[in-house]
Structure 1
Amino acid sequence: MFKIPFFLLVLALFTKNVSAQNKETIFTVPNVFITSKIKPSQNFESDRGNILFEAHDIEQNKQYSIGDMLKDLPGVSSQGLGVASRPIIRGMNNSRVKILQNSGFLSDVSEFGEDHIVGYDPMLIDKIEIIKGPGTLLYGNNGFAGVVNIINPLIPVDKPISDQDVEANFGYQTSGGELKTALKFGKSISNYTVRGSGSFLSSGPYDLANSSTEQPNSSKFMTSGGIGLTYNDGENYIGVSLDKLEAVYSLPGAEGEENLTSLNPTRNSINFKSSLALDNKFFKKLNFDGTVSEYSHAERTTSGNNHNIEFFNDAYEFKTSLNHKSLISQNEDGLIGFHFQNKNQGAEGAEESHLTSTKTNSFALFILENFKFNYFDLDIGGRIESVNLKNTTYERGFFPGAFSSTLKKELFTNNTAFFGFDFTQRAPNVVELFSEGPHHALENFENGDANLDVETSYNISLGYNYNENLNKLKIETYFNYINDFIAADRDGTTVDVEGEDFNNVVHLQYDAIFTGIELSGQYNFAKYQNFDFLTNFMVDFLKGYRPRDSLNDKAISRIPQSKLNVGLQAKSDDWDAELSYYHYFDKDFLGPFQTRTGGHSRLDFNLTKDFSYSNVSGHLMFGAKNILDVVGRNHLESKKSQVQLPGRSFIFMVKVFY
């Protein structure tokens, strides 16, 4: 447990002077992106690897967990078990993908196992920013595959702000009889704003494809809410928010009580954000962010009798930074900062343990600089970090470093090419180092290695971006060589746990290569009356392998299927209709003790109609998922032989603004 008075002290110190940029309405989140950008960017997606997932895209793809929401995007996949999932970026998972809430730490244990959900309710998400590649040095070396930033509007950092607004969401999905609702509200008086939100979701087991049956043990429940108070005078701001999440969900498995598990995540968080405009010849802004968060869940059989192991992650962090003024004529902007994180993590029970309680402390200094030359722009960044992990048996210390650079050249109007190079080191996490015991939901017996060293990534990416009105094209290819890659592989043996055979999983290091190409685009091929007709497409091919192994054992475990999608869309000011086809290819280049996964396809349809009456506006949405009711399996599903992807379902939703 952590003490709130620390934040009250900071609040008192910063109340008089606090900064903001850009403009927003109450439920339109700001354009201040959290990645390696120093300034707000209106062309976020033109930078290498970046994806902006917002508004209608989120409404059409709301799922119980974040991984399933993002899995159809270029470079992003989902690894999970049943209804739980976590995003994978360019084939890399766990501590290589950092998940944030409003650019602050999001406390959960999703990186410890694919049976754990990300600890945030998708019903309350307004925008998701994704940056792929190691250029995320503001937020830690342990996210070099990418950052996923979940944004909600509890702390408005921009002006002007609406005096009063209410937004309500109501939805129903036929599969599982899923009911969901969300409410957001805000009230502003002078420079002070109060914002709140709440949500509820409940569903039974989801329907299977080409069958009248349901996926056993796949029911889910979630409720969450939050409130925020902000002072914002247009030049300075200070805000604090509190939010809470509670959920219960079941996980499928083989027959027998020991293999059917339920989890009950609970998370409490306090977030603090402030910015002070400075008036001197060297610096423009002083920023301070802080987070205190508690998370826990118990893993039990469905009857609650056995393996009552509690996973927990209690954390606090603070980050301060200074935006400096131009140092030389080519230096547009720059930032220097300090970042501290403290985490207490573990998985313990009365009769058995998976991970001994371990404390992790990290201190880091970072710098980001932006340069504009006659022929190109250059962004560079660096980070040095000290990481210490300690429990009752072991203590390990690491000193990872990182450097990131992007060179961007506008070839001609609306056409940009970019090249990036990144060197990033990551310290092993607590599970990789110190786990020793059964993980019942996954039916694994996990063995950490306290002698693991840092893994080092050398990443090169090259790309091209075209963006003009409704026409878009983006191509990016990457090559990522990782020295001493930390893997969690099965060794082919089993361990007896309460009469069940669990796969023995060991953590070891070897060199690895991740390479791929991503292609996405949109073309406005016709216009009729007030409708635009568009076609869109996406192709994502990737490969992960061990360069020094024999040909028969080269593949790395947990590499997702390559995929493509194509779609047709008709949109006007009031209507939006889209038909989308998704295809996931066969996966037969396999890691140790994996089995082949056949390809599958999915056809979806979405129709949205906007409306307005007096002071009320909103839209109605109808969606159909997997229209052809095709059977499919995810190669990264932890229990692939027992878990299918959902079958056909229909979605009805109404969203109202007042």
Structure 2
Amino acid sequence: MHPRHSAVTLGLLAALSAVTANAQSNPANTPTSDADDTTRLETIIVESGPFGGRGGDELTRPVDVIYGDALARKNKATIGDLLSEEPGVANSGFGPGVGHPVIRGQSGPRVSILQNGIGSMDASSVSADHAVALDPGGAEQVEIIKGPATLIYGSGAIGGIINVVDDRLPDEISRGLSGAGDFSFADNADERDGSLKLGYGTDAVQFNASYGYRRADDFEIPGYADADGEGERGVLENSDVDTQSGSASVSWITPKHVLGFAVSRFDTLYGVPGHEHGDDEGDEGVTEEEGKGTHIDLDQTRYDLRGDWIEPFAGLEKIKLRAGYNDYEHAEIEGSGEVGTLFKNKAYEARVELLHLAVAGWHGEVGSQLSHRDFKAIGEEALVPPTIARNLGLFVVEEHRFGDGHRLELGARVERASAEANGTQPNTDATLPDLDFTPLSLSAGSVFALGHDYHLRFNLARSQRAPTTEELYSFGAHEGTKAYERGDVDLDVETSNNVELSLERHHGRFRSSASVYYNRIDDYIYEKPVDLGLNVDGSGTASSDGIADRVDDEGHFDPDGELVLYDYEQSRATFYGLEAQAEYALLQQGPFKLDGRIFFDTVRGELDGGRDLPRITPSRLGGGLDASFRQWSASLALTHVDEQDRVAALETETEGYTLLSADLGYRLRYGTGMATFYLRGRNLLDEEAREHTSFLKDLAPLTGRTLMAGVRFEFAGVQGL
């Protein structure tokens, strides 16, 4: 931490450490009784996990939910940005246009990102520089399950899930015309953000539509982009973003039925800072506009279907259907203006769940999930041949209630996952086998009501993940991560053995939660640096020297090559850590209300023998104050991220940093709606902050001080149209 900020940071954190509460609650806006100091919390309905549609207190596994004012204050540039200060969750950025969530040290193919319960179906898990094809600006709430969620969502959820819930496929009618919007301008990069949602409901039909955009020039930073102090100072070159999204939906809703269909579109063009691979700037005949650096042009069209049937037959409580189809394409445009690599992904996913009434005291659901992915990469970074991945899963989850508020939950899932290569391996022309895997996942969880105020949760899970087609079939240069990757068709399934204990206090002025977890993963798949001194095809003379091999784009051994040679291998890995968060309603009587909140998280990730895993989230401590007075609201938040000196081979240490943010808002009611005018400040200390979880940390720090002004509004029930 910079010495000029240390006294301020430590002083505020020391003051905040005396107060505690749940970060997802909003007591400053919760009605209270003069005769009773117990804060009454609204019930938040959770859509994720087994028995979706319940309140969070009714679930065996803890689920964090962000909604309302807490969600509105978040940075919603990317889903990773939005969740970057949630306990146990970090962001792995690849410039301002890309943000991947990291849950307890795990990301990529181990964290499933859902939209209304169906996967994003993009190529974000293929590479760190591929954006998630999802606009978080349209979210109504965001749900986080930390730890294995494979029972319901399959192998890709071995590390957890993020479910973004929006209003495209509602289950309620909003009669008349309703709408909401949020428009803002930020001084950093002249960033302009906007979103607009409109709905119209009749007796049984609901129409919804939405549009969103984000545009920004190159972002300003406190110092140099390069950690070595090279390049231009004060600006993160090639970090511009231009994103648009939109959707339209229609739903038929009755007391016993819901049937909805939605079509959505997501387009984004963003720069990749620090990675002008293939950049021909300065070459003869290349214009200044063409030579500005590598950009990714991403387009996705998505179709979604929802069906609910309440009490369809004797013994059944509900039948739920969710399905989605995706047509995805993105082009990596080099500095010359030419397309270096084109990625195409056509995928569909469907799931059916049957919730049955209690049988011998057990209430639960059985279901099936089907997914199909047809992926192609054409061009310089075509690391894998065209592949087809299929997955069929069957699962059952049963719950038994006993005593006064206690629950026991048992579940099992079996999958059949297949990988099919439609062509030979790039750069080797080797014939690749079709592969099949049968992951099996089991779980047991319990929740004990300790009086009125506390819940104790205990969860055990054995979860398995099948290797991805990239881990199996890759062979080639991956400029985005400066690696030459070689897959392995002999990889086996990963097996995660996870245990978690959590305690929550969820009533009264003081609310808190704490979790400890331990996760041992057998046959953990990771990229291991190679030290053989050979070309990637095995030719040459071996010369192991204790230093990872470097190669050129063609795979020829070169000590000065730009690419590090990696092989996909398997070993035992261990993740363990602690998360705690708390909030205290300091003042809740009268018009002035004040809350204090604090959180802490830490995680370790190690391979067998104590070797550190790369890009593990550093320990973090943060807190804040939330205040309201009549129409006014204000908040102050401070987060300190420790240095990370437990690093893997080839990884550099990362200095700690402190982020300070503030919000000020004024609410104005009008007719059937309300508008909120707001001012926000981010990174107010103008810290040079580098995310250890990012591949680009030494080339692209977080953006500098940012001031934002905007208006958010909503209205409902306008009749006579």
> What TM-score, normalized to structure 1?
0.91
**Aligned with residue 73 of structure 1, among 59, 72, 86:** 86
2:622 to 565, 571, 576: 565
1:191 pairs with 2:204: yes
Q: 1:505 aligns with which of 566, 574, 586?
A: 566
In the alignment, residue 197 of structure 1 is paired with which amino acid? S
1:290 maps to which of 323, 326, 332 = 323
Which residue of structure 2 lines up, in the alignment, with residue 271 of structure 1? Answer: 304
Q: Given residue 40 of structure 1, which amino acid in structure 2 is its aligned partner?
A: G
Which letter does structure 2 place at the counterpart of 1:574? Q
Mapped pair 1:462 → 2:501 = yes
What is the CA-CA distance between 1:227 and the residue it aligns to? 0.4
Corresponding position: 1:596 with 2:653: yes
What is aligned with 1:360? 389
- Asked if the contact 2:279/2:336 (under 8 Å) is kept, the reply is no
Letter in 1 for 2:415: E
How far off is 1:613 after superposition?
2.1
Q: Deviation digits for residues 439-465 of structure 1, max 9, x if unmatched?
A: 223222222111110000000000100
Q: Which residue of 1 aligns with 2:16?
A: none
Distance 1:630 1:603, change over 3 A: same
- Structure 2 counterpart of 1:121, from 135, 140, 143: 135
CA contact (8 A) 2:56 2:63 kept: no
Distance 1:656 1:39, change over 3 A: closer
AA paired with 1:319? R
Helix, strand or coil: the match of 2:358? coil
Other-structure match for 2:109:
95
How far apart are the structure 1 equivalents of 2:68 and 2:57?
16
TM-superposed CA distance for 1:210, in Å, is 5.5
Contact 2:467–2:492 (8 Å) recurs in 1: yes
Distance 1:125 1:39, change over 3 A: closer
The change in CA–CA distance for 1:45 and 1:58 in structure 2 (over 3 A counts) is farther
1:139 aligns with 2:149: no
Q: Give how far 1:35 is off.
A: 2.8
Alignment length, in residue pairs?
Answer: 621
Q: More displaced, 128-137 or 37-46? A: 37-46
> Are 1:416 and 2:446 counterparts?
no
* % same residue: 25
Deviations 1:112-161 (A, max 9, x none): 11111110112212211111111342211220211100111011113x52
CA distance in 2, matches of 1:418, 1:229: 39
Is 1:627 the counterpart of 2:684? The answer is yes
Question: Greater relative contact order (Cα 8 A, min sep 6): structure 1 or 2?
Answer: 2
Structure 1 gaps, min length 5: 1-28
State the alpha-carbon separation in 2 of the partners of residues 387 and 630 from structure 1: 46
Per-residue Cα deviation, 1:267-316 (whole angstroms, up to 9, x for no partner): 1100000011235332122222211011111112233236x111222101
Q: Quote the residue 1:9 is aligned against.
A: none
Q: Structure 1 residues 629 and 47 mapped into 2: Cα distance closer, same or farther (>3 Å)?
A: farther
Q: State the match for 1:530 in structure 2.
A: 591
Deviation, structure 1 residue 470? 4.5
What is the alpha-carbon distance in structure 1 between the residues aligned to residue 186 and residue 52 of structure 2?
A: 40
Q: Distance in 2 between matches of 1:214 and 1:86?
A: 23
Q: SS at 1:156's partner residue? A: coil
- Contact 2:45/2:56 (8 A) holds in 1: no
Q: TM-score, structure 2 length as denominator?
A: 0.83
User: Does the 8 Å contact 1:377/1:407 carry over to 2?
Assistant: yes
List per-residue Cα deviations over 1:379-421 (Å, max 9, x = no partner): 2221100001001332110000111221111111111111100
C-alpha contact 2:381 2:478 (8 A) present in aligned 1? no
CA contact (8 A) 1:377 1:408 kept: yes
Give the deviation of 1:572 after TM superposition.
4.5
User: How many Å separate the matches in 2 of 1:397 and 1:489?
Assistant: 24
Larger radius of gyration: 2
What is the distance in 1 between the residues matched to 2:367 and 2:241? 41
Whether the aligned pair in 2 keeps the contact of 1:623 and 1:652 (CA below 8 Å) is yes
SS at match of 2:480: helix
CA offsets 1:64-85 (integer angstroms, 9 cap, x no match): 3211210110110111211212
Q: Distance between the aligned counterparts of 1:518 and 1:135, measured in 2?
A: 18
1:462 is paired with a residue of what secondary structure? Answer: strand
Instruction: Provide structure 2 residue ranges, at least 5 long, that are not aligned to the other structure.
Output: 1-41, 225-232, 281-292, 423-431, 531-547, 555-559, 716-721
Aligned residue in 2 for 1:221: 242
Contact 2:583 2:597 in 1 (8 A): yes
Query: Quick one: structure 1 residues 642 and 377, their matched pair in 2 at CA, closer, same or farther if it must change by over 3 Å?
Result: same
- Equivalent of residue 317 in structure 1, options 335, 349, 352: 349
In structure 2, the residue matched to 1:205 is 218
Q: 1:443–1:218: structure 2 CA closer, same or farther, 3 Å change rule?
A: same
Cα deviation code 1:47-67 (max 9, x no counterpart): 544210122223222333211
Alignment CA distance shift 1:47-1:334 (3 Å): closer
- 2:182 match: 169
CA contact (8 A) 1:167 1:184 kept: yes
Match of 1:11 in 2: none
Matching of residue 42 in structure 1 with residue 55 in structure 2: yes
Aligned to 2:30: none
